[in-house]
Amino acid sequence: MESGTIRSLGIGVNQQGLRDHNERLILSTLQRHGPLPGSDLARAAGLSAQTVSVILRGLESAGLIRRGEPQRGRVGKPRVPMSLDPEGAFSVGLKIGRRSADLVLADIAGGVRRQLHTTYRWPVPADVFRFLREGLAAFGRDMTPDAMARIAGIGIAKPYEIWDWHEAIGAPEGALDVWRDVDYAAEVGRFSDLPVHLDNDGTAACRAEHIYGRGREFRDFAYFFVGSFIGGGIVLNHSVFEGACGNAGAFGSLLVRGPEGSDRQLIDTASLFLLEEALVRADLPTDRLWTQPQDWSGLAQALDPWIEATAGQLARAAISVCAVIDFEAVLIDGAFPPDVRARLVEGIRREVGRLDRRGLSPVRIEEGRVGGNARALGAATAPILARYLLNTHGGAAAA
């Protein structure tokens, strides 16, 4: 944008756009609060009872919501709670990781209907898209034609510039360069007509936590996801903030003090690939980090020092991000078992208490809730969000 150019605040909303906005508002309110009768929906959404009644009839006719049992025991007509119908819409989410890929079929209520998992030494586009193609076929064999027609799209969560860290994952130099020129929509278009939505994997995980995890508790929070390489996301005013280039919350690039005293990026001091390297040095199995279900028992020799070191790095990172935005909380999640997450959060809280926090509000460290599935579920949420829900900061939802 040229210097001095004044950005537009947006565009007006015509009658059809207003109707679509209100429908999204009702669906988002039901997603966030659970089943509600029309009168409560009207109050929560700030709409008239008549407007809500008209919208509910349309959404019910479209199969997106369903009626619950009437709530009796009060004077007057029984109150009938309405809720999202899990059969109303579906989406597919693909998480492309540096060590594994996950494919999920999710419903509009956030339920994971099917899930497939594969591991590899490093990701190769042909193998990843074959995994997606075969997975879609497997999902389709278990679905009716009507259910298939209700798939909103395919979300793909991928690391930002995946080709930059070949050395850390043990890939030959240049082996990941092929990803530079991948046209994801074109590749998927070879075998599917579904729309494709791309996300940074940290943003996708943050979206899953925001919508299906602890996002209901906080208006603004910073989110760290510890995967092969650490990433994250930002929620502001109840919406995931993606940033101008879709890379907001790139906490892995935060500069921190490395073990040897030099400046390093957080990605090089608080990621799971470091635990993998420690396991190799201790002659312990590394495949257990990436296989499902996760069982990390017997890895204490490498795991305990990793938790201690990672807690120290994340404590400093949490203080840094809270100095920029006065977050209500910093949420920590990752591709590890819940007990490891709990130990890591306990360690971060302890380290935060030892650091200089002058000028800052209390830094609240909390566990995330979604877990290792966050990136795939967040990817699957993108098509649902784009078509049915509100996201004031997200470009997809404005489409």
As given in the structure block, the two tokens for residue 186 are 């074109």
State mean pLDDT over 109-137.
95
Q: Let me know how long the chain is.
A: 399
Q: 69-73, 235-239, 248-252, 266-270: which range is least confident on average?
A: 69-73
Nearest-angstrom CA–CA distance, 345 and 333: 9
More confident residue, 392 or 153: 153
Residue 78 gets which letter from DSSP?
P
Helix axes 15-33 and 38-45, enclosed angle (nearest 10)? 110
The topology (CATH level 3) of 15-84 is Arc Repressor Mutant, subunit A (1.10.10)
State mean pLDDT over 279-300.
91
The CATH number given to 205-371 is 3.30.420.40
Q: 108-112, 171-175, 203-207, 306-310: which range is least confident on average?
A: 171-175
Question: What per-residue confidence (pLDDT) applies to 162?
Answer: 79
Q: Give residue 29's pLDDT band: very low, low, confident or very high (50, 70, 90).
A: very high
How many CA atoms does the CB half-sphere of 350 hold within 13 Å?
Answer: 12
Which H helix or E strand runs over 32? helix 15-33
Q: Give residue 261's pLDDT band: very low, low, confident or very high (50, 70, 90).
A: confident
Question: What per-residue confidence (pLDDT) applies to 79?
Answer: 84
Torsion over CA: 290, 294, 298, 302 (sign): positive
Q: Is the pLDDT of residue 75 over 80?
A: no
State mean pLDDT over 238-245.
89
Q: Is the pLDDT of residue 10 over 80?
A: no
As given in the structure block, the two tokens for residue 302 are 């490498």
Nearest-angstrom CA–CA distance, 246 and 143: 33
pTM of the model: 0.89
Question: What per-residue confidence (pLDDT) applies to 5?
Answer: 60
Which residues pair with residue 101 across a beta bridge?
96, 118
Question: What per-residue confidence (pLDDT) applies to 3?
Answer: 54
Q: Is the pLDDT of residue 131 over 70?
A: yes
State mean pLDDT over 11-18.
49
For the chain, the average pLDDT equals: 90
Q: Give residue 135's pLDDT band: very low, low, confident or very high (50, 70, 90).
A: very high
Q: Is the pLDDT of residue 168 over 70?
A: no
As given in the structure block, the two tokens for residue 272 are 């799971």
Which H helix or E strand runs over 231? strand 231-236
Nearest-angstrom CA–CA distance, 237 and 260: 39
Q: 90-199+376-398 and 205-371 share one CATH topology?
A: yes
More confident residue, 166 or 279: 279
**CATH 3.30.420.40 holds for 90-199+376-398:** yes
Nearest-angstrom CA–CA distance, 65 and 35: 10
State mean pLDDT over 313-330.
97
% of the chain surpassing 70 pLDDT: 91
CB distance 160 to 117 below 8 Å: no
Question: What per-residue confidence (pLDDT) applies to 399?
Answer: 34
Q: Is the pLDDT of residue 398 over 50?
A: no
Tokens 């829900």 -> residue: 389
Does residue 311 come out as left (phi exceeding 0), alpha (psi in the -120 to 50 range) or beta? alpha
Q: What are the structural domain ranges in the chain?
A: 15-84, 90-199+376-398, 205-371
Nearest-angstrom CA–CA distance, 399 and 250: 24
191, burial (CB in 10 Å: exposed 0-12, middle 13-18, buried 19+): middle
370, burial (CB in 10 Å: exposed 0-12, middle 13-18, buried 19+): buried
Question: What per-residue confidence (pLDDT) applies to 98?
Answer: 83
Which residues pair with residue 197 across a beta bridge?
155
Q: Is the pLDDT of residue 12 over 50?
A: no
% of the chain surpassing 90 pLDDT: 74
Nearest-angstrom CA–CA distance, 306 and 336: 13
Q: Is the pLDDT of residue 294 over 50?
A: yes
User: Which candidate, 295, 309, 376, 387, places its Cα nearest to that of 112?
Assistant: 376
